[in-house]
Amino acid sequence: MKNIRTPLKNSFFGGLSGFWKKPPSRDSSSEKKPGFSGEDAKSRAGFPDLSVMFLLWVGAAISISEIYTGGLLAPLGFGRGMAAIVIGHAAGTGLLALGGQVSFIRRRSAMESAAFSLGRNGGRLAALCNVVQLAGWTVVMVVQAGNAFTALFPLPFAPVSFALGLLVLLWALIFGSPARWINGAVVILLAVLCGVLFWESAGGGPGPAVFSEPLSFTLALELSIAMPVSWLPLAGDYSCRAKDTLCASVMPFAGYFLGSVFMYGFGLFIALETGGDFFTLIAASRFRLAACAVVVFSTLTTAFLDLYSAAVSSTRIVSVKKPRRPVLVLGLFAAIVAAVFPAESYSGFLTGFLTAIGAVFVPLYGVIFIDFFMKRPENKSPLGINLPGLAAAAGGTAVYMLCAKNGWGIPTLLAVAAVAILYIPVIAVAEKSVRRKRSVTDD
C-alpha cells in the first residue's frame, strides 16, 4: 500500500508546488500550437498585460444574461440571495481561474490542455463540445440583446437580432492590438452606465410580496456557480499567452468575480425593488440611450470572446491556419440562428443551457485538473483517447444530471467528487503497474 500512496502523494503535492512556477519560455519554436499558428512567438510574448486581462474579464461578466439570472434568485430575498451569489461565484470563478492557470503552466490553449489529458481524439471530442456551447452562447447573447432592443423600441425582433449578430462578428474580426484599448474603454463605460441604471432602479418601488415559484438555496448556489463555469473552456485561450500568474489566473478571477457578482446583485435588486426583470426596467427607463448602449456594448464585449474561443477550438477539429475564417463562419451562423430563435423561449432555454454546460465541462475539467495536480504525462494512447478519464467524466455527467433533475445537493461539487472517486483509483493502479514493469526491466 505504501508503494501506491507515496508516488501519488508526491505527484499531488509536486503539482501544488509547481503550480506557481514560471512555465517554460514560449519563444522556442517547439511552443507553436494549433490555433495560434498565425502568430509568431514575439507577438505572443507578454500578452495580455494586467489591465487588459482584468478588463477583458470584467467585460465578459457585464451581460444581460448575468443580470437576468441574478433576478431568478429573488425568491430568496436580498440577504440569502447575495450569500448564494458570493459563495457560488467564489467556487465557480475559482474553477475558471484554475483552468486558466493550467493552460498558462502548460502553454496550451484550453482545448490543447484537454487533448493533453484526454488524448488526441478525446481532445477533439472536447473541442467539438466547446464549439457547440460557445456558438450557443453567442446566439444567447444576441437573442437577449434583441429582446432588450424590442423592449426599448417598436422594432421587429428578427432583423434587429441579425444586425446585432453581424456587429458581434465585426467586433470579433477587428479585435486585436489596435482594438484592445477600445474594448477596455467600453468596459469602463459599461460599468458607469450600469451604475446609472442601478440608481434609477432604486426608485422603482417595492416588488411583489410573494414570488410565484420558490427557490432552494442549493439551486441558487448552482445557478451562481454555473455562469463562471460556463467560461471555463474559454479561460485557457487567453491565459496560455499571459506573461505571468497574475495575468493568467488572478486577474481573470478578480475581474470576473467582481463584475459578475455586481451583475447578479443588480438583477436581484431589480427583481426585489421593481417586481420585474431587466427587460421590464429598460422598457420604462428614462435613460433609454444609456440602456441602449448597455445592451449593444455588453453584447459586443461578451459575445466576441465566445466567437474567438470557438474559432480556436475549431482548429482542433478542422485544419485551418488561422482562427479568422472560423470566426467568420461561426459568426454568420450565430447571426442567422439568433434571427429565427423563438424569443419567448429564452428563459427556459437559458436555464437548460447552463445545466447542460455544467454537466459536460465540469466532469471533463475534473479529469484535466486531476491529471495536472498528479503531474501525469501527456496521454499518447495508440487510440488517441483516455478511456478511463472519459469514463470517469461520463460518470460525473450522470451524477450532475441526476442531482440537477432531483434537486440533490450542489451538482457541480458532487460531479467533481464523483470524477475523483472514479478516476484517482484508476491512476493508482496504472502507476503501480508501470512501476512494477520498470522494476522487472531494471532487474
- Could you tell me the CATH number of the domain that includes residue 297? 1.20.1740.10
Residue 30 is assigned to a structural domain of this protein = no
Residue 57 is assigned to a structural domain of this protein = yes
Residue 130 is assigned to a structural domain of this protein = yes
How many domains would you assign to the chain? 1
- The fraction of the chain above a pLDDT of 90, given in percent, is 32
Q: Which of 91, 74, 48, 69 is nearest to 256 (CA)?
A: 91
The overall average pLDDT reported for the chain is 80
pLDDT of 360:
93
Residue 426 is assigned to a structural domain of this protein = no
- Cα–Cα distances (Å) from 111 to 69, 131, 377, in that order, read 28, 10, 16
If one compares 104 and 39, the residue with the highest pLDDT of the two is 104
* Phi, then psi, of 321 in degrees rounded to 5: -80, -35
pLDDT tens column, 412-428: 999 999 999 999 998 88
Q: What range defines the domain where residue 144 resides?
A: 45-344
Mapping DSSP onto H, E and C, the string for 295-349 reads HHHHHHHHHHHHHHHHHHHHCCCCCCCCCHHHHHHHHHHHHHHHHHCCHHHHHHH
Q: Tell whether the model's pLDDT for residue 309 goes beyond 50.
A: yes
Predicted TM-score (pTM) of this structure: 0.80
pLDDT of 93:
96
> Taking a C-beta distance cutoff of 8 angstroms, is the pair 316, 77 a contact?
no
Q: Tell whether the model's pLDDT for residue 124 goes beyond 70.
A: yes
Specify the 3-state DSSP secondary structure of 196.
helix
**Quick one: cell of 295?**
445592451
Q: How does residue 175 score in pLDDT terms, banded at 50, 70 and 90?
A: low
pLDDT of 441:
65
Residue 410 is assigned to a structural domain of this protein = no
Residue 29 is assigned to a structural domain of this protein = no
Which of 87-91, 173-177, 307-311, 426-430 ranks highest by mean pLDDT? 87-91
User: Can you tell me the mean pLDDT for 6-11?
Assistant: 40
Residue 398 is assigned to a structural domain of this protein = no
> Taking a C-beta distance cutoff of 8 angstroms, is the pair 63, 141 a contact?
yes
What's at 88, amino acid-wise? Answer: G
Residue 148 is assigned to a structural domain of this protein = yes
> Taking a C-beta distance cutoff of 8 angstroms, is the pair 411, 403 a contact?
yes
Q: Which of 232, 220, 280 is nearest to 85 (CA)?
A: 220
Contacts of 85 (CB under 8 A, 6+ apart): 70, 73, 220, 224, 261, 264, 265, 268
Q: State the sign of the Cα–Cα–Cα–Cα dihedral 417, 419, 422, 426.
A: negative
> Taking a C-beta distance cutoff of 8 angstroms, is the pair 256, 228 a contact?
yes
User: What is the rounded CA–CA span in Å between residue 277 and residue 282?
Assistant: 9
> Taking a C-beta distance cutoff of 8 angstroms, is the pair 146, 160 a contact?
yes
